[in-house]
Amino acid sequence: MKKILFTVWTTREGGGAEKILSNLTRELEKKYDIDVLEVGKFNNHKVNLGEKTRLLKPLLNKIDDRRIKYLFKRLFFEYVPNLYKRVRCRKKYDYEIAFNYLYPAYLINKNTKSIAWNHGSIENLLDEKEKFNKIKYGKALKNIDRIVAISNKTQQSIVDVYPEYEDKVVKIYNGYDFSDIIKNSKEEVEYEKDSLLFLGRLEEAKGIKRLLNIYLELVKKDIKQKLYLLGEGELKSWVEDFIKENSLEDRVILLGYKSNPYPYIKSSSYILMTSKGEGFPTVFVEGLALGVGFVSTNVGGVEELSNLGKCGFVNDYDRELINYLASELKKDKKDRLIKKESCLGHVENYTLEKQVSSLINLLEEI
């Protein structure tokens, strides 16, 4: 049985990439011997991987190591990441897959068949302040056999930043196990139906400030639906202050991190996102699988997922997002432009079986 090593930033944030890795390991371990190496353990959240998949000791352990030990390891890792990885992980593999961009790619053994997986657009590397990261990541990609993009937008961004590697880039859409999503959505939770939902980290990159200002405008337009926020992050205090300052205590509900978000998704009218950048929003696919559409800024993957407006509304202008939501939320559900049936039909294009088949074919090709 051939051996695969996935190197990841972490397995414990509960984000889209972690869910994709969880699904992939469950399927790939039927055919391959799988190890997962984390760059860091930054919290004690539960890790969900395939039953036979081995989670190796993290390179950096902020939770269990004493501060001085952690800082020493971090310094060693920052300057010579590949050497540090070879000291900590001596096992030989047939394939190595860097499952996030930047640091995991620096850990790849250049003598092993390899893949760099990009879950988001990377045009930010064209900024002058990102020049060092652009050069460093470019050097890492030189020794990579294939570069995976998960959407049209992500694929184009890679080619724009590194045109010399265009022939290495392939597109593999994320795949999902809809049976688990549907099963877990049946859990009973306290949640007001036909509400709006944000699911993600409370941070600048996710556009949470922008989202709350959009919602405030909807309240001024006499929209009655509540907004629920699922997630934690460094802007939690800012969010709490915003809610109080604008008297939204009964309208905006902070639920924190939820290991099972599906009952909340199922009961929502729309999933909202105002991120600055995404690769292929897992939460939107999960929503479609439960018959729920989305309203979003134009990030990676939404072009494909929106299905020409039948499953999602995409726009980068706040006023357009506000007008769309204000108009649709005042209608009865049956009269809204996004229909449950359209979402359930379109999501069949993103099955786990299709993703696994594409990856296995790619591994056998390189």
CB 100 within 8 A of CB 8: yes
Query: In this predicted model, what pLDDT tens digit does every residue of 94-113 receive, in sequence order?
Result: 999 999 988 899 999 989 99
Give the pLDDT of residue 77: 66
The answer to whether residue 135 scores a pLDDT higher than 80 is yes
Give the confidence band of 67 by pLDDT, cuts at 50, 70, 90. confident
Give the pLDDT of residue 12: 78
The answer to whether residue 25 scores a pLDDT higher than 80 is yes
Give the pLDDT of residue 170: 98
The CATH class, in words, for 3-175+351-365 is: alpha beta
Domain ranges of the chain: 3-175+351-365, 178-349
Query: In this predicted model, what pLDDT tens digit does every residue of 174-205 receive, in sequence order?
Result: 998 899 899 999 999 989 999 999 999 999 99
Give the pLDDT of residue 186: 96
Give the pLDDT of residue 41: 77
Please state the rounded mean pLDDT for residues 229-237. Answer: 96
Can you tell me the distance from the alpha carbon of 138 to that of 14, in angstroms, rounded to the nearest whole number?
28
- Distance spanning both ends of the chain, measured CA to CA: 17
Residue 83 makes CB contacts below 8 A (sequence gap 6+) with none
Give the pLDDT of residue 78: 73
Q: What angle do CA 25, 261, 305 make, to 5 degrees?
A: 70
Half-sphere exposure of 141 (CA within 13 A, CB side): 26
Residue 34 pairs with which residues in a beta bridge? 4
CB 8 within 8 A of CB 104: yes
Give the confidence band of 19 by pLDDT, cuts at 50, 70, 90. confident
Please state the rounded mean pLDDT for residues 219-246. Answer: 97
CB 14 within 8 A of CB 343: no
Give the confidence band of 126 by pLDDT, cuts at 50, 70, 90. very high
Give the confidence band of 87 by pLDDT, cuts at 50, 70, 90. low
Give the pLDDT of residue 31: 96
The average confidence (pLDDT) of the chain is 92
Give the pLDDT of residue 360: 97
Q: In whole angstroms, what separates CA 362 from the centre of its chain?
A: 22
Give the pLDDT of residue 76: 61
Give the confidence band of 279 by pLDDT, cuts at 50, 70, 90. confident
**% of the chain with per-residue pLDDT over 70:** 96
Query: Parallel, antiparallel, or unpaired for β 312-314 and 268-273?
Result: unpaired
Question: Which class for 47: exposed (0-12), middle (13-18), buried (19 or more C-beta within 10 A)?
Answer: middle
Please state the rounded mean pLDDT for residues 75-82. Answer: 68
Q: Which residue has the higher pLDDT, 40 or 359?
A: 359
b/e map 224-237, b = 16+ CB within 10 Å: ebbbbbbbbbebbe
Give the pLDDT of residue 9: 86
The answer to whether residue 38 scores a pLDDT higher than 70 is yes
Please state the rounded mean pLDDT for residues 135-144. Answer: 94
Please state the rounded mean pLDDT for residues 58-81. Answer: 72
Is 178-349 the same fold as 3-175+351-365? yes
Can you tell me the distance from the alpha carbon of 293 to that of 269, in angstroms, rounded to the nearest whole number?
7
Give the pLDDT of residue 182: 96
| pTM, two decimal places | 0.75
Length of the chain equals: 366
Amino acid making up residue 139:
K
The answer to whether residue 138 scores a pLDDT higher than 90 is yes
Give the pLDDT of residue 32: 98
Superfamily of domain 178-349: Glycogen Phosphorylase B; (3.40.50.2000)
